[in-house]
A and B are shown apart, each in its own frame.
Chain A
Amino acid sequence: MNVSHAPVSSLSAPNEQAERALSALWTRPPGLIGWLCSTNHKDIGRRYIVTAFIFFGLAGLLAAAMRIQLAFPENHFLGPDLYNQFFTVHGTTMMFLFAVPIMEGLGLYFVPLMVGTRNAAFPRLNAFGYYAFLAGGLLLWGGLLVNAGADAGWFAYTPLSGPDYSPGHRVDIWADMITLTEISALAGAVVTLTTVFKQRAPGMSLNRIPLFVWAQVVTSFMIIFAMPAVMLVSGYLAMDRLAHVNTHFFNAAEGGDSLLYQHLFWFFGHPEVYIIFIPATGMVSMIVETFSGRRVFGYPVMVLSLIATAFIGFGLWVHHMFATPIPLLGRSFFSAASMMIAIPSGIQIFCWIITLWTGRPRLRVPLLFVCGFILLFVLGGLTGVMLASVPLDLQMHDTYFVVAHFHYVLIGGAVFPLFGALYYWFPKWTGRMLNESLGKWNFWTLFAGFNLTFFPMHILGLHGMTRRIYTYVAETGWGNLNLLATIGAGIIGVSVLLFVINVAIALGRSAFTDANPWLAPSLEWATGSPPPAYNFYNLPSVSDAEPLWHSPEEKPVVVGLSTEKREVLNTTVIDAVPEHRYELATDSIWPLALAIVVGLTMTFVIFTPWAIPAGMFFSLIVLYAWFWRGNEPKFIVEAAKPKPQISAAQTSLAAQA
């Protein structure tokens, strides 16, 4: 191995002047306006991550409130109405505003770096995606603040969520929030796929793509085929509910069907779990590889497992509906498929273990989280296989056994790898390391708190405690285990706080200069930490799957891209042979403008169907401005101009140099 801590010098600028010129070309304009206009994938990815983490904290607060309510029998902390809003907004936030966006945000930040390009494809679409996501989050949480928090569960089953049983606007907010967040997820998926298909570094053929990037590709395909289902079904629901529209998709009296709702929702909902989990496996692969110091065992098998998971993942949705009158043959089929999906996941776990076994593992904090993941995910997977069996599921359906199961897969399977990834990539974002011993405390408190919270729920479920109840009587005997779970939730809270403190301390320190502190093999570590606006001065080329482990300085670099326009290199889809150059769009205010129009449309459509034609009209106007080249409004351009004093100072500095 020939690994250095410094950025790969052949990829960096030859001198300061050249650096400054390219930097000026790719850096967003200064000031707030410039910030709002940014189309840099690193800005956007970071915003997704930070925003989603804030939503994680908020939804965590709701969880804490629910746990306090359930700590004692017949407690009066939350009433039934508030409890309904809290579990619905908690679940909805965790799924749509935390888990999916944070995974996608990590992808948007790292995929362009890992494939060795200067920015993601379709930078403006990318910026729009973030703002649409933010609009969805504001809608849901704004609703909660004005006592219109969604309250029909995170999957909002009809007829409960229909116009007859959920009057008011709580469910409308839920349905329209779905549209906004799914637009965002779809935009991110298109950006990611196009970046990977067309902008890979020369030589990065399909078998040299980092596993994290593969995971993002597979996830993006799943998003493309799954998200339309939930947009459609939430659209039907909104139409059924909206005054003056009042369709009857789910109204049995007019030939509508509530089971249709369930089919469409879970056609999205089950893949959703893998949309959260597959990127996490990508993170695990990167961490395992770096910290065991060897190539991941069975790379082709890993890739095939990802693809198999995605395919099988679309054939499972009916296992959420075993308690409904579906044909027996259907049940058997979906039961078998649900058990089958354990196979590719199991294969991946074996490959990681073999990699660690045959490598020289360094047990740093990221790897610690990965070990926690393997343990907890196996447990969550086991209860999953149990629930895939129809007779068992009929017993457990809607009990706390299910609540325990899905928190094991979601937290064990996604949040643990996520924390590992945050520790792993923090130096890349900030140029600073997180504290190792605080990190260990973070891990052990999360591990202990998590098991204390959710393990007892298996038993509670077996004892018949149903989910979504705001309280229970003492005679049930559920009190002690519930109290235990609440204490555990408190420990989880402490653990997340430790993480936030760790980040705050690190940000308070001055930056270190190592570009590759973990001696990792992939391209995101070939450039500075944090990376310059243009990512690589000379684009890298690749001749193996671990470019930084095999004489990175000797690999040819790409030269000849424009220094006047934001140009990237396009390569062929399979073999990544250089094909042509491509000019990316500049920074722009129009993505934000479009998101505002779409956000307002989805807000007003709660009250009137006329919001749709009006929204279309204004969207088209904004889109015309967006696509008409060189068309930024004057006042924006003025506001985003660098202040003259600063540029004078810069020129005098340059003169000195």
Chain B
Amino acid sequence: MNTAVIDVSKLPAAVEDHTSPIWWGNLFMLFIETTMFALLVGTYFYLRMNFTNWPPVRSDVALYRTDPDLGFATANLLVLIASCVPMFIVDRACLRMDLRTVRLGMTAMVLIGLGTIALRFFEFSGLKFRWDDNAYSAVIWTVLGMHLLHLITGTAENLLMTLWVWLKGLDIRHARDVRVGAAYWYWIAGVWIPLYAIVYFGPRWL
């Protein structure tokens, strides 16, 4: 056989950056999730057209402002945005294969994740409507609920990687997985900014 060959044995056996297939797979998944939230926002504005008062007035309590409470919600938003800092530190530490920082940072991320999940449950009680009151409450509960699902999966993913780095240390593949998880987390935090604005300021400004 006299065919020329392309020898790939010297190429790296794994990479940590955006040329990795898993990074692309994650990107495509985020397209799906973003589409889902965009359609949810579409639903919100579509249903808005059916109401004269948004949020609708409660028949049981006249003259009672039914805008959703800002307290826990805003706190949670700030926690989420701030959580990108430790996530980013872990992200960078993966590039240096700095095991200590990754271990501590990931542990912190799991705790922060649990904190945002807990705060989210307080947010629900500040909505002032049950999910089954009307179409307005259906859509805002769904926005919060869907995002909660992402908080749970994101935190679960971080917990898995935390267990791995504490028990097995860090190799290049798992460093890559942590970094992909970080990209997912940035998205979870980022997508909440417009969603927060819509759920909490839509009623005030629309």
Contacts and interface: CB of A to CB of B under 8 A. Distances in A.
Contacts of B137: 247
Interface string B1-38: 10111111111111100011100110011011101100
A227 B67 CA distance: 33
Overall SS of chain B's interface: helix
A148 interface: no
Contacts of B36: 228, 231-232
B136 A255 contact: yes
8 contacts: A121-B21, A198-B19, A202-B6, A232-B40, A256-B134, A555-B3, A560-B7, A561-B8
A254 B47 contact: no
Nearest to B1: A10
A40 B108 CA distance: 38
Contacts of A561: 8-9
Contacts of A194: 21, 24-25, 28
Interface in A249-301: 249, 251, 254-257, 260, 263-264, 267
Contacts of B51: 255
Contact of A248 (B19, B33, B132, B156): B132
B64 interface: no
- Most chain B CB within a 10 A radius of its CB, from A10, A232, A556, A569: A232
A118 B82 CA distance: 43
A558 B13 contact: no
B131 interface: yes
Nearest to A553: B3
A207 interface: no
Nearest to A233: B39
A578 B11 contact: yes
Interface string A232-254: 10001001000001111101001
Interface residues of B, number: 52
Interface stretch (A102-110, A172-180, A579-587): A579-587
B97 interface: no
Interface of A: 9-10, 14, 121-122, 125, 186, 189-190, 193-194, 197-199, 202, 224-225, 227-229, 231-232, 236, 239, 245-249, 251, 254-257, 260, 263-264, 267, 538, 541, 553-562, 567, 569-570, 572, 578-583, 616, 620, 623-624, 627-628
B129 to A, nearest CB: 11
Contacts of B95: none
Contact of B21 (A14, A248, A582): A582
Contacts of A569: 8, 11
B43 A224 contact: no
Contacts of A248: 132-135, 138
Contacts of B31: 224-225
A613 B141 CA distance: 16
B139 interface: yes
B202 interface: no
A610 B177 CA distance: 31
Contact of A263 (B4, B12, B21, B46): B46
B131 A557 contact: no
| Among all A-B residue pairs, the 8 with the closest Cβ atoms | A560-B9, A247-B138, A255-B135, A556-B4, A254-B134, A256-B135, A228-B36, A10-B3
Contacts of A616: 149, 152
Contacts of A231: 36
B24 A198 contact: yes
Contacts of B136: 255
A555 B4 CA distance: 7
B44 to A, nearest CB: 11
Given A232-B36, A582-B14, A122 B25 contact: yes
A580 B14 contact: yes
A255 B56 contact: yes
Contacts of B132: 245-248
